[in-house]
Structure 1
Amino acid sequence: MKNKQVINPLKAQLWLIGLMFFFSQACAYSLRYNLVKASRTIDGDTIKLNNLGKVRYLCINTPEIHHSQKPPEPYGEQAWIKNIQLLVSEWVVLEFDLSRRDRYGRLLALVYSSSGLVNAQLLKNGYATLMVIPPNQSCQACFIPLEKNARDQHLGIWK
Protein backbone atom coordinates (compact mmCIF):
# COMPACT_ATOMS: atom_id res chain seq x y z
CA MET A 1 0.00 0.00 0.00
CA LYS A 2 2.79 2.42 0.87
CA ASN A 3 4.58 1.71 -2.43
CA LYS A 4 1.39 2.50 -4.33
CA GLN A 5 1.31 6.03 -2.83
CA VAL A 6 4.92 6.63 -3.86
CA ILE A 7 4.41 5.29 -7.40
CA ASN A 8 1.28 7.31 -8.20
CA PRO A 9 2.92 10.75 -7.78
CA LEU A 10 5.93 9.48 -9.72
CA LYS A 11 3.70 8.28 -12.55
CA ALA A 12 1.88 11.59 -12.53
CA GLN A 13 5.15 13.51 -12.77
CA LEU A 14 6.40 11.33 -15.63
CA TRP A 15 3.09 11.74 -17.44
CA LEU A 16 3.25 15.52 -17.01
CA ILE A 17 6.83 15.66 -18.32
CA GLY A 18 5.81 13.57 -21.33
CA LEU A 19 2.82 15.79 -21.99
CA MET A 20 4.98 18.92 -21.81
CA PHE A 21 7.45 17.35 -24.26
CA PHE A 22 4.61 16.45 -26.64
CA PHE A 23 3.22 20.00 -26.67
CA SER A 24 6.65 21.56 -27.01
CA GLN A 25 7.18 19.44 -30.12
CA ALA A 26 3.69 20.16 -31.48
CA CYS A 27 4.31 23.89 -31.11
CA ALA A 28 7.91 23.90 -32.28
CA TYR A 29 8.51 26.93 -34.43
CA SER A 30 11.97 26.90 -35.95
CA LEU A 31 15.54 26.05 -35.19
CA ARG A 32 17.01 29.51 -35.79
CA TYR A 33 17.91 31.25 -32.53
CA ASN A 34 20.02 34.25 -31.53
CA LEU A 35 20.95 35.43 -28.04
CA VAL A 36 20.94 39.24 -28.03
CA LYS A 37 20.87 42.18 -25.66
CA ALA A 38 17.76 44.37 -25.68
CA SER A 39 18.42 48.04 -25.08
CA ARG A 40 14.90 49.53 -25.03
CA THR A 41 11.23 48.59 -25.11
CA ILE A 42 9.57 50.74 -27.77
CA ASP A 43 5.95 49.63 -27.30
CA GLY A 44 3.93 46.51 -26.57
CA ASP A 45 5.25 44.48 -29.50
CA THR A 46 8.58 46.06 -30.46
CA ILE A 47 12.00 46.26 -28.81
CA LYS A 48 15.31 47.78 -29.83
CA LEU A 49 18.51 45.79 -29.77
CA ASN A 50 21.96 47.21 -29.17
CA ASN A 51 23.41 46.39 -32.59
CA LEU A 52 20.64 44.81 -34.69
CA GLY A 53 17.95 47.50 -34.78
CA LYS A 54 14.30 46.92 -33.97
CA VAL A 55 12.53 43.60 -33.39
CA ARG A 56 8.80 43.29 -34.07
CA TYR A 57 7.16 40.39 -32.22
CA LEU A 58 5.83 37.66 -34.50
CA CYS A 59 2.17 36.66 -34.57
CA ILE A 60 0.84 39.38 -32.26
CA ASN A 61 -0.25 42.99 -32.44
CA THR A 62 -0.62 45.36 -29.50
CA PRO A 63 -2.40 48.73 -29.43
CA GLU A 64 -0.19 51.57 -30.68
CA ILE A 65 1.23 54.29 -28.44
CA HIS A 66 3.41 56.24 -30.91
CA HIS A 67 1.12 58.04 -33.35
CA SER A 68 2.35 61.34 -34.72
CA GLN A 69 -1.03 63.06 -34.53
CA LYS A 70 -3.18 60.68 -32.49
CA PRO A 71 -3.32 59.80 -28.80
CA PRO A 72 -2.24 56.29 -27.73
CA GLU A 73 -4.79 53.57 -28.49
CA PRO A 74 -6.68 52.08 -25.52
CA TYR A 75 -4.51 49.57 -23.60
CA GLY A 76 -1.43 50.61 -25.59
CA GLU A 77 0.39 51.91 -22.54
CA GLN A 78 -0.63 48.86 -20.48
CA ALA A 79 0.76 46.56 -23.20
CA TRP A 80 4.00 48.56 -23.25
CA ILE A 81 4.34 48.36 -19.45
CA LYS A 82 3.63 44.61 -19.48
CA ASN A 83 6.26 44.16 -22.19
CA ILE A 84 8.80 45.98 -20.00
CA GLN A 85 7.87 43.73 -17.05
CA LEU A 86 8.26 40.56 -19.13
CA LEU A 87 11.72 41.60 -20.28
CA VAL A 88 13.10 41.41 -16.75
CA SER A 89 16.64 40.88 -18.00
CA GLU A 90 18.30 42.65 -20.89
CA TRP A 91 19.26 39.39 -22.58
CA VAL A 92 16.68 37.75 -24.82
CA VAL A 93 16.62 34.88 -27.27
CA LEU A 94 15.16 35.56 -30.70
CA GLU A 95 13.59 32.74 -32.68
CA PHE A 96 12.96 33.36 -36.36
CA ASP A 97 10.38 31.94 -38.74
CA LEU A 98 10.62 31.85 -42.54
CA SER A 99 10.89 35.60 -43.13
CA ARG A 100 13.35 37.44 -40.87
CA ARG A 101 12.41 41.05 -41.70
CA ASP A 102 9.27 43.02 -42.43
CA ARG A 103 8.81 45.71 -45.07
CA TYR A 104 10.12 48.33 -42.61
CA GLY A 105 13.39 46.45 -42.09
CA ARG A 106 12.56 45.30 -38.56
CA LEU A 107 13.54 41.81 -37.45
CA LEU A 108 10.52 39.53 -36.93
CA ALA A 109 10.89 37.09 -34.05
CA LEU A 110 9.48 35.16 -31.18
CA VAL A 111 11.16 36.70 -28.14
CA TYR A 112 12.12 34.66 -25.08
CA SER A 113 13.16 36.22 -21.79
CA SER A 114 13.63 34.70 -18.36
CA SER A 115 9.83 35.01 -17.97
CA GLY A 116 9.19 32.77 -21.01
CA LEU A 117 7.89 33.45 -24.51
CA VAL A 118 7.01 37.15 -24.38
CA ASN A 119 4.77 37.05 -27.48
CA ALA A 120 2.63 34.32 -25.90
CA GLN A 121 2.51 36.04 -22.48
CA LEU A 122 1.18 39.27 -24.01
CA LEU A 123 -1.46 37.35 -25.96
CA LYS A 124 -2.43 35.15 -23.00
CA ASN A 125 -2.89 38.14 -20.69
CA GLY A 126 -5.04 40.08 -23.15
CA TYR A 127 -2.50 42.75 -24.08
CA ALA A 128 -2.28 41.65 -27.72
CA THR A 129 -4.32 40.19 -30.55
CA LEU A 130 -3.27 37.41 -32.87
CA MET A 131 -1.83 38.73 -36.12
CA VAL A 132 -0.38 36.17 -38.50
CA ILE A 133 1.25 37.43 -41.67
CA PRO A 134 2.41 34.78 -44.17
CA PRO A 135 4.87 33.24 -44.57
CA ASN A 136 5.44 33.45 -40.78
CA GLN A 137 2.64 31.14 -39.66
CA SER A 138 4.35 28.53 -37.50
CA CYS A 139 3.08 30.00 -34.22
CA GLN A 140 -0.56 30.27 -35.31
CA ALA A 141 -1.80 26.90 -34.03
CA CYS A 142 -0.40 27.46 -30.54
CA PHE A 143 -1.42 31.10 -30.28
CA ILE A 144 -5.10 30.77 -31.31
CA PRO A 145 -6.14 29.16 -27.98
CA LEU A 146 -4.21 31.79 -26.00
CA GLU A 147 -6.15 34.62 -27.62
CA LYS A 148 -9.44 32.74 -27.25
CA ASN A 149 -8.86 32.18 -23.53
CA ALA A 150 -7.99 35.86 -22.96
CA ARG A 151 -11.13 36.88 -24.85
CA ASP A 152 -13.32 34.38 -22.96
CA GLN A 153 -11.92 35.59 -19.62
CA HIS A 154 -12.31 39.28 -20.61
CA LEU A 155 -8.64 40.07 -19.99
CA GLY A 156 -6.91 43.30 -21.03
CA ILE A 157 -8.22 44.63 -24.33
CA TRP A 158 -11.10 42.12 -24.18
CA LYS A 159 -12.69 43.78 -21.10
Structure 2
Amino acid sequence: MRKLYAMAAVFAIVLLTFLHLRTGPDERGIEATVSRVIDGDTIELANGDVVRLIGIDAPEKNQPYNEDVLDELRKLEGKYVRMEKDVTNKDRYGRYLRYVYLGDHFVNLELVQSGLAYAYSVNPDKKHEDSFKEAERYAMENELGIWKKSDYSDCIVLEKFHYNAKGDDTKNLADEYLSIKNECGSDMEMLGWRVRNRYGYFDIPAFEMDGGSTVRIVTGNGTSSPDSVFLSRDMPIWSNKEDSMYLMDGQGRVVLEKSYRN
Protein backbone atom coordinates (compact mmCIF):
# COMPACT_ATOMS: atom_id res chain seq x y z
CA MET A 1 0.00 0.00 0.00
CA ARG A 2 2.86 2.38 0.87
CA LYS A 3 4.39 1.72 -2.55
CA LEU A 4 1.06 2.56 -4.13
CA TYR A 5 0.88 5.89 -2.26
CA ALA A 6 4.47 6.68 -3.18
CA MET A 7 3.81 5.96 -6.84
CA ALA A 8 0.71 8.16 -6.75
CA ALA A 9 2.68 11.02 -5.19
CA VAL A 10 5.40 10.75 -7.84
CA PHE A 11 2.77 10.69 -10.57
CA ALA A 12 1.11 13.81 -9.14
CA ILE A 13 4.42 15.69 -9.09
CA VAL A 14 5.19 14.69 -12.67
CA LEU A 15 1.69 15.70 -13.76
CA LEU A 16 1.94 19.12 -12.12
CA THR A 17 5.33 19.71 -13.69
CA PHE A 18 3.97 18.71 -17.11
CA LEU A 19 0.99 21.02 -16.74
CA HIS A 20 3.26 23.92 -15.82
CA LEU A 21 5.43 23.31 -18.85
CA ARG A 22 2.37 23.21 -21.04
CA THR A 23 0.51 26.20 -19.66
CA GLY A 24 3.39 28.53 -18.86
CA PRO A 25 3.16 31.50 -16.48
CA ASP A 26 -0.26 32.35 -15.09
CA GLU A 27 -1.90 35.29 -13.40
CA ARG A 28 -1.36 33.97 -9.86
CA GLY A 29 2.26 35.07 -9.78
CA ILE A 30 4.04 31.73 -10.11
CA GLU A 31 7.79 31.40 -9.85
CA ALA A 32 10.10 30.08 -12.53
CA THR A 33 13.79 30.05 -13.36
CA VAL A 34 15.16 32.49 -15.93
CA SER A 35 17.45 30.68 -18.36
CA ARG A 36 18.58 33.57 -20.54
CA VAL A 37 17.95 37.15 -21.62
CA ILE A 38 16.75 37.60 -25.20
CA ASP A 39 16.72 41.40 -25.36
CA GLY A 40 16.25 44.41 -23.12
CA ASP A 41 12.66 43.55 -22.22
CA THR A 42 12.35 39.84 -23.02
CA ILE A 43 13.52 36.76 -21.10
CA GLU A 44 13.31 33.01 -21.59
CA LEU A 45 12.40 30.61 -18.80
CA ALA A 46 13.98 27.25 -18.10
CA ASN A 47 10.96 25.49 -19.62
CA GLY A 48 11.30 27.40 -22.89
CA ASP A 49 8.50 29.92 -22.32
CA VAL A 50 9.34 33.43 -23.52
CA VAL A 51 8.22 36.36 -21.36
CA ARG A 52 7.91 39.99 -22.45
CA LEU A 53 8.21 42.42 -19.55
CA ILE A 54 5.20 44.73 -19.85
CA GLY A 55 4.86 48.38 -18.95
CA ILE A 56 8.29 49.16 -20.38
CA ASP A 57 10.17 49.53 -23.65
CA ALA A 58 13.94 49.07 -23.57
CA PRO A 59 16.53 50.32 -26.10
CA GLU A 60 17.02 47.92 -28.99
CA LYS A 61 20.26 46.46 -30.34
CA ASN A 62 22.76 49.10 -31.51
CA GLN A 63 20.86 51.82 -29.65
CA PRO A 64 22.40 53.74 -26.74
CA TYR A 65 22.05 51.99 -23.37
CA ASN A 66 21.09 48.65 -24.92
CA GLU A 67 24.11 46.92 -23.39
CA ASP A 68 23.38 48.55 -20.03
CA VAL A 69 19.87 47.16 -19.82
CA LEU A 70 21.07 43.74 -21.01
CA ASP A 71 23.70 43.66 -18.26
CA GLU A 72 21.04 44.51 -15.69
CA LEU A 73 18.60 41.85 -16.91
CA ARG A 74 21.31 39.18 -17.04
CA LYS A 75 21.42 39.35 -13.25
CA LEU A 76 18.17 37.36 -13.42
CA GLU A 77 19.72 34.40 -15.24
CA GLY A 78 19.65 31.23 -13.16
CA LYS A 79 17.37 32.80 -10.55
CA TYR A 80 13.75 32.26 -9.57
CA VAL A 81 11.46 35.13 -10.46
CA ARG A 82 7.79 35.68 -9.78
CA MET A 83 5.57 36.69 -12.68
CA GLU A 84 2.32 38.60 -12.47
CA LYS A 85 -0.26 38.80 -15.25
CA ASP A 86 -2.29 41.92 -16.07
CA VAL A 87 -5.14 41.41 -18.58
CA THR A 88 -3.54 40.07 -21.76
CA ASN A 89 -1.96 36.64 -21.54
CA LYS A 90 0.16 36.59 -24.71
CA ASP A 91 1.13 38.99 -27.48
CA ARG A 92 0.91 38.26 -31.21
CA TYR A 93 4.38 36.70 -31.10
CA GLY A 94 3.33 34.13 -28.52
CA ARG A 95 5.25 35.75 -25.67
CA TYR A 96 3.73 35.79 -22.20
CA LEU A 97 3.11 39.37 -21.02
CA ARG A 98 4.14 39.72 -17.40
CA TYR A 99 5.35 41.92 -14.58
CA VAL A 100 8.49 40.28 -13.19
CA TYR A 101 9.70 40.30 -9.58
CA LEU A 102 12.99 39.15 -8.08
CA GLY A 103 12.30 38.88 -4.38
CA ASP A 104 11.02 42.31 -3.34
CA HIS A 105 12.36 43.97 -6.48
CA PHE A 106 9.85 44.92 -9.19
CA VAL A 107 12.17 44.42 -12.17
CA ASN A 108 10.07 46.23 -14.79
CA LEU A 109 9.65 49.29 -12.59
CA GLU A 110 13.30 49.46 -11.52
CA LEU A 111 14.49 49.42 -15.13
CA VAL A 112 12.38 52.52 -15.78
CA GLN A 113 13.41 54.22 -12.55
CA SER A 114 17.11 53.72 -13.33
CA GLY A 115 16.72 55.22 -16.81
CA LEU A 116 17.32 51.96 -18.67
CA ALA A 117 13.83 51.69 -20.19
CA TYR A 118 10.90 53.88 -21.14
CA ALA A 119 7.50 53.65 -19.46
CA TYR A 120 5.27 51.97 -22.05
CA SER A 121 1.82 50.81 -20.92
CA VAL A 122 -0.59 49.65 -23.62
CA ASN A 123 -4.32 49.01 -23.24
CA PRO A 124 -5.67 47.02 -21.55
CA ASP A 125 -2.55 46.21 -19.50
CA LYS A 126 -2.27 49.34 -17.35
CA LYS A 127 -2.38 48.03 -13.79
CA HIS A 128 0.86 49.78 -12.84
CA GLU A 129 0.81 52.63 -15.36
CA ASP A 130 0.86 55.40 -12.75
CA SER A 131 3.83 53.83 -10.98
CA PHE A 132 5.73 53.56 -14.25
CA LYS A 133 5.06 57.20 -15.10
CA GLU A 134 6.24 58.29 -11.67
CA ALA A 135 9.39 56.19 -12.04
CA GLU A 136 10.08 57.72 -15.45
CA ARG A 137 9.65 61.23 -14.08
CA TYR A 138 12.20 60.41 -11.39
CA ALA A 139 14.70 59.16 -13.99
CA MET A 140 14.14 62.22 -16.16
CA GLU A 141 14.51 64.71 -13.30
CA ASN A 142 17.74 63.03 -12.19
CA GLU A 143 19.05 62.60 -15.76
CA LEU A 144 19.60 58.86 -15.36
CA GLY A 145 20.53 56.59 -18.26
CA ILE A 146 18.59 57.45 -21.40
CA TRP A 147 17.52 60.72 -19.79
CA LYS A 148 21.01 62.14 -19.52
CA LYS A 149 20.92 65.72 -20.74
CA SER A 150 22.12 66.34 -24.29
CA ASP A 151 24.81 68.93 -24.93
CA TYR A 152 22.32 70.50 -27.36
CA SER A 153 19.61 71.01 -24.74
CA ASP A 154 20.70 74.55 -23.90
CA CYS A 155 20.52 75.63 -27.55
CA ILE A 156 17.60 73.78 -29.15
CA VAL A 157 14.08 74.81 -28.18
CA LEU A 158 10.67 73.64 -29.36
CA GLU A 159 8.89 76.46 -31.17
CA LYS A 160 5.81 74.55 -32.28
CA PHE A 161 4.48 71.00 -32.13
CA HIS A 162 1.66 70.55 -34.65
CA TYR A 163 0.70 66.94 -33.94
CA ASN A 164 -2.89 67.28 -35.19
CA ALA A 165 -2.87 68.00 -38.92
CA LYS A 166 -5.83 69.75 -40.49
CA GLY A 167 -8.56 67.46 -41.79
CA ASP A 168 -7.75 63.80 -42.31
CA ASP A 169 -4.30 63.28 -40.80
CA THR A 170 -3.54 60.36 -43.09
CA LYS A 171 -4.00 62.58 -46.14
CA ASN A 172 -2.20 65.64 -44.82
CA LEU A 173 1.13 64.42 -43.45
CA ALA A 174 2.82 67.64 -44.52
CA ASP A 175 0.84 69.40 -41.79
CA GLU A 176 2.08 67.12 -39.01
CA TYR A 177 5.38 68.50 -37.77
CA LEU A 178 7.48 70.00 -35.01
CA SER A 179 9.55 73.16 -35.37
CA ILE A 180 12.81 73.56 -33.47
CA LYS A 181 15.01 76.62 -33.14
CA ASN A 182 18.76 76.97 -32.60
CA GLU A 183 18.97 79.76 -30.05
CA CYS A 184 22.76 79.65 -29.89
CA GLY A 185 24.95 81.71 -32.20
CA SER A 186 26.97 78.79 -33.57
CA ASP A 187 26.04 76.55 -36.51
CA MET A 188 25.25 72.90 -35.73
CA GLU A 189 25.40 69.69 -37.75
CA MET A 190 22.80 67.11 -36.71
CA LEU A 191 23.84 63.54 -37.54
CA GLY A 192 21.98 60.45 -36.37
CA TRP A 193 19.18 62.38 -34.70
CA ARG A 194 15.81 60.77 -34.04
CA VAL A 195 12.35 61.53 -32.80
CA ARG A 196 10.50 59.05 -30.64
CA ASN A 197 6.85 58.66 -29.80
CA ARG A 198 5.35 56.21 -27.28
CA TYR A 199 5.85 53.32 -29.68
CA GLY A 200 9.21 53.70 -31.40
CA TYR A 201 11.93 55.70 -33.09
CA PHE A 202 12.00 57.58 -36.39
CA ASP A 203 15.29 58.56 -38.00
CA ILE A 204 15.79 62.17 -39.06
CA PRO A 205 17.91 62.76 -42.17
CA ALA A 206 21.15 64.60 -41.42
CA PHE A 207 20.66 68.36 -41.39
CA GLU A 208 22.38 71.57 -40.37
CA MET A 209 21.10 74.49 -38.35
CA ASP A 210 22.58 77.95 -38.55
CA GLY A 211 22.68 79.99 -35.39
CA GLY A 212 19.24 81.51 -34.79
CA SER A 213 17.56 79.43 -37.51
CA THR A 214 14.41 77.31 -37.30
CA VAL A 215 13.91 73.86 -38.87
CA ARG A 216 10.61 72.07 -39.35
CA ILE A 217 10.67 68.27 -38.95
CA VAL A 218 7.78 66.98 -41.08
CA THR A 219 6.20 63.53 -40.82
CA GLY A 220 5.46 63.16 -44.54
CA ASN A 221 7.50 63.17 -47.73
CA GLY A 222 9.26 66.11 -49.34
CA THR A 223 12.57 67.58 -50.45
CA SER A 224 14.81 68.75 -47.63
CA SER A 225 15.74 72.42 -47.49
CA PRO A 226 17.55 74.67 -45.00
CA ASP A 227 14.30 75.10 -43.07
CA SER A 228 12.62 71.67 -43.48
CA VAL A 229 13.52 67.97 -43.18
CA PHE A 230 11.15 65.08 -43.87
CA LEU A 231 10.72 61.76 -42.09
CA SER A 232 9.09 60.23 -45.20
CA ARG A 233 6.45 58.32 -43.28
CA ASP A 234 3.29 57.04 -44.95
CA MET A 235 1.14 57.36 -41.83
CA PRO A 236 0.86 59.85 -38.94
CA ILE A 237 3.26 59.20 -36.08
CA TRP A 238 1.72 61.50 -33.45
CA SER A 239 -1.56 60.69 -31.74
CA ASN A 240 -4.15 63.47 -31.66
CA LYS A 241 -5.24 62.43 -28.16
CA GLU A 242 -2.22 61.46 -26.07
CA ASP A 243 1.45 60.97 -26.81
CA SER A 244 5.01 61.88 -25.87
CA MET A 245 7.61 63.36 -28.19
CA TYR A 246 11.33 62.97 -27.58
CA LEU A 247 13.94 64.60 -29.79
CA MET A 248 17.21 62.70 -29.39
CA ASP A 249 20.72 63.53 -30.54
CA GLY A 250 23.19 61.18 -32.24
CA GLN A 251 24.27 59.78 -28.86
CA GLY A 252 20.72 58.88 -27.91
CA ARG A 253 20.43 61.69 -25.36
CA VAL A 254 17.22 63.65 -25.00
CA VAL A 255 17.31 67.17 -26.40
CA LEU A 256 13.60 67.93 -26.04
CA GLU A 257 10.59 66.23 -24.49
CA LYS A 258 6.92 67.11 -24.83
CA SER A 259 3.98 65.10 -23.52
CA TYR A 260 0.33 65.92 -24.03
CA ARG A 261 -3.16 64.60 -23.36
CA ASN A 262 -6.39 65.96 -24.80
TM norm structure 2: 0.45
Separation (CA, whole Å) in 2 of partners of 1:116 and 1:89 = 16
Equivalences for residues 128-143 of structure 1 within 5 A: 128-143=117-132
Does residue 1:92 correspond to 2:81, yes or no? yes
Correspondent of 1:119 among 108, 113, 130: 108
Gaps of 5+ in 2: 1-26, 149-262
Q: Which amino acid aligns with 2:98?
A: A
TM-superposed CA distance for 1:32, in Å, is 2.3
Task: After superposing the two structures, state which structure 1 stretch, 126-135 or 43-52, moved more.
Answer: 43-52
Can you list the C-alpha shifts for 1:98-145, whole angstroms capped at 9, x where unaligned? 101111110110001136111011001000001111110111011111
In proportion to residue count, which structure has more helix? 1
Identity across the alignment (%):
37
Cα distance, 1:103–1:88 mapped onto 2, change above 3 Å: closer
Does residue 1:46 correspond to 2:42, yes or no? yes
Correspondent of 1:82 among 72, 76, 84: 72
Can you list the C-alpha shifts for 1:36-95, whole angstroms capped at 9, x where unaligned? 111001222111012242111010010012xxxxxx11111111111123x275111000
Separation (CA, whole Å) in 1 of partners of 2:104 and 2:44 = 18
* C-alpha RMSD of the superposition: 1.5
Does residue 1:158 correspond to 2:147, yes or no? yes
Structure with higher Rg: it is: 2
Q: Give the number of aligned pairs.
A: 122
Cα distance, 1:33–1:52 mapped onto 2, change above 3 Å: farther
Cα distance, 1:53–1:83 mapped onto 2, change above 3 Å: same
Residue 9 of structure 1 corresponds to which residue in structure 2?
none
Separation (CA, whole Å) in 1 of partners of 2:41 and 2:77 = 15
Poorly superposed stretches of 4+, deviation over 4 Å: none
